[in-house]
Amino acid sequence: MHHFHALTVQSVTPLTRDSAAITFSVPTDLQETFHFAPGQYLTLRTQLEGAELRRSYSICASAQSQQQGGPLRVAIKRVNGGAFSNWALDNLQPGSSLEVMPPQGHFTMPLAPEAARHVLCVAAGSGITPVLSIIESTLLAEPNSRVTLIYGNRASGSVMFKEELENLKDRFLTRLNIVWVMSREAQDMPLFNGRIDGDKISQLLQHLVDAASVDTAFICGPQSMMLAASQAMQDAGIDKARIKVELFGTTQTGERAPRAVAVSDQGCEVTVVMDGAQRVFHMPKDKNLVDAALAQGIELPYSCKGGVCSTCRCKVTQGEVDMDINYALEDYEVARGFVLGCQSYPVSDTLVIDYDAEQH
Ligand SMILES: Cc1cc2nc3c(=O)[nH]c(=O)nc-3n(C[C@H](O)[C@H](O)[C@H](O)COP(=O)(O)OP(=O)(O)OC[C@H]3O[C@@H](n4cnc5c(N)ncnc54)[C@H](O)[C@@H]3O)c2cc1C
Ligand code: FES
């Protein structure tokens, strides 16, 4: 579950000037390990100039294509000056081998063939990747459900998966509604011009989408858009518990201020439960769990180390930690004792953290 596996790149297909879809073939003996729920992501790892780089990329394939033995697919968009995205787009080609961690993440919902629901999705730019998987999987699995997608981009030329979305629209004419919002390309309806922000979502919920009919909403994109869209949905009466968000990164930068620790502090003894085995290590209280373990050669799962992706999610079953940034866990998960290892600092003198605890 938390270990990397070498997968072979099957294809690299340009999507726009600055993005490409990358598929991996999954050998038969790893099919179960790489079984995913729509909306989940993969963590990819490479070595670059002697340093290890890990980044997460959402799976953009439907649950049904997986059942038919289709390849795992992600899509990477080039970030200006970005280390991994540029390396991947410049170097990966069919036959390349890449280390991949099995699917993770909770930006998903169980598919229910008998459901008759309205799913509202809001995506901006590369935020379409998990949403595409959710849309296609839902439409295929639930014949009585419908989906509205509000998708923001600069202009048609920069839209990832434009053709695929148009094909989906043709296939599910009455059950898929796509609202294209463009910030640098004028469209006939003024409402469809500009950036997706709180105002835009409020207006769309007043004039085009009946908020009362929305059963579940998914939002994926930049932090400011995500927060504003979520608030606008709540203002329109959609319960926060029915709004799921996925953040790809944060504008917050910089290391946290060093934590004050009592001079007499003896540190903390941490027991790690993972894959049915236990390991114990001792750590200072001014370090987070992931870094402290790594410093002792113990690898705990992580990717972004910024409180965004949830790869480091574990459950505190004994003791107490203080968690810094959390963009990844929902309130109910925190209430059940789940924490982000990369953001958690021991408070108690002993701690038990469990990576095998139930996922939900
Ligand atoms: C759960 C999850 C799923 C993700 N899914 C996808 C996906 O499907 N497709 C995809 O392309 N990316 C996705 N990302 C983002 C991806 O993991 C990387 O963060 C992104 O590719 C940038 O990595 P980099 O190494 O190129 O940039 P870095 O070297 O990490 O960053 C370089 C600079 O760019 C800024 N930056 C980083 N990310 C972004 C961004 N997204 N937009 C603008 N500026 C940024 C940083 O602040 C930094 O200043 C996902 C992230 C998460 C947490
Ligand atoms: S490693 Fe991404 S949230 Fe901790």
What does the block give as tokens for 53?
Answer: 């780089």
Q: Is residue 112 part of a domain?
A: no
Q: Is residue 204 part of a domain?
A: yes
Specify the pLDDT at position 251: 67
Least-confidence region, from 63-72, 98-107, 148-157, 235-244: 63-72
Decide: 304 in ligand 2 pocket, CB within 6 A.
yes
- Cα(313)–Cα(329) distance, rounded to whole angstroms? 8
The answer to whether residues 222 and 292 belong to one domain is: no
The pTM (predicted TM-score) of the whole model is 0.93
The answer to whether residues 99 and 122 belong to one domain is: no
Question: For strand 338-340 and strand 313-318, is the pairing parallel, antiparallel, or unpaired?
Answer: antiparallel
The answer to whether residues 197 and 228 belong to one domain is: yes
Q: pLDDT tens digit string along 283-302?
A: 999 999 999 999 999 999 99
Is the distance from CB of 250 to CB of 244 less than 8 angstroms? no
Least-confidence region, from 194-198, 219-223, 251-255, 259-263: 251-255
The answer to whether residues 20 and 63 belong to one domain is: yes
Decide: 43 in ligand 2 pocket, CB within 6 A.
no
Any idea what the CATH number is for the domain that residue 230 is in? 3.40.50.80
The answer to whether residues 160 and 204 belong to one domain is: yes
Q: Is residue 108 part of a domain?
A: no
The answer to whether residues 232 and 193 belong to one domain is: yes
3-state secondary structure 7-22: EEEEEEEEEECCEEEE
Atom 30 of ligand 1, nearest CA residue: 82
Q: Which residue has the higher pLDDT, 255 or 328?
A: 328
Atom 3 of ligand 2, nearest CA residue: 307
Q: Is the pLDDT of residue 344 over 60?
A: yes
* CA 220 / ligand 1 centre spacing (Å): 13
Q: Is the pLDDT of residue 144 over 90?
A: yes
The answer to whether residues 277 and 340 belong to one domain is: yes
Q: Is the pLDDT of residue 347 over 90?
A: yes
Residue 282: domain span: 268-354
Q: Is the pLDDT of residue 17 over 50?
A: yes
Any idea what the CATH number is for the domain that residue 281 is in? 3.10.20.30
Decide: 303 in ligand 2 pocket, CB within 6 A.
yes
Q: Is the pLDDT of residue 312 over 60?
A: yes
Mean of the per-residue pLDDT values of the chain: 94
- Domain boundary pick from 103, 136, 164: 103
* Domain count across the chain: 3
**CA dist list (Å): 233 to 63, 107, 200, 328, 344:** 27, 17, 11, 19, 31
In 3-state terms, what secondary structure has residue 230? helix
The answer to whether residues 125 and 46 belong to one domain is: no
Decide: 323 in ligand 2 pocket, CB within 6 A.
no
Closest CA relative to residue 328, chosen from 79, 41, 20: 41
Closest CA relative to residue 314, chosen from 335, 348, 339: 339
In 3-state terms, what secondary structure has residue 103? strand
Is the distance from CB of 86 to CB of 55 less than 8 angstroms? no
Atom 38 of ligand 1, nearest CA residue: 249
- Domain boundary pick from 78, 103, 128: 103
Q: pLDDT tens digit string along 148-174?
A: 999 999 999 999 999 999 999 999 999
Atom 18 of ligand 1, nearest CA residue: 55
Helices (H) and strands (E) in the chain, counts: 8, 18
The answer to whether residues 283 and 342 belong to one domain is: yes
The answer to whether residues 130 and 241 belong to one domain is: yes
Q: Is residue 360 part of a domain?
A: no
Q: Which residue has the higher pLDDT, 139 or 260?
A: 139
Q: Is residue 359 part of a domain?
A: no
What's the gap between Cα 159 and its chain centre? Answer: 19
What does the block give as tokens for 273?
Answer: 């439960």
The answer to whether residues 98 and 136 belong to one domain is: no
What does the block give as tokens for 184?
Answer: 């640098």
- Cα(37)–Cα(184) distance, rounded to whole angstroms? 34
* Mean pLDDT of the region 83-112: 97
The answer to whether residues 242 and 300 belong to one domain is: no
Decide: 77 in ligand 1 pocket, CB within 6 A.
yes
* CA 84 / ligand 1 centre spacing (Å): 8
Specify the pLDDT at position 242: 96
* Mean pLDDT of the region 182-211: 95
Specify the pLDDT at position 265: 76
Q: What single-letter DSSP state applies at residue 124?
A: E
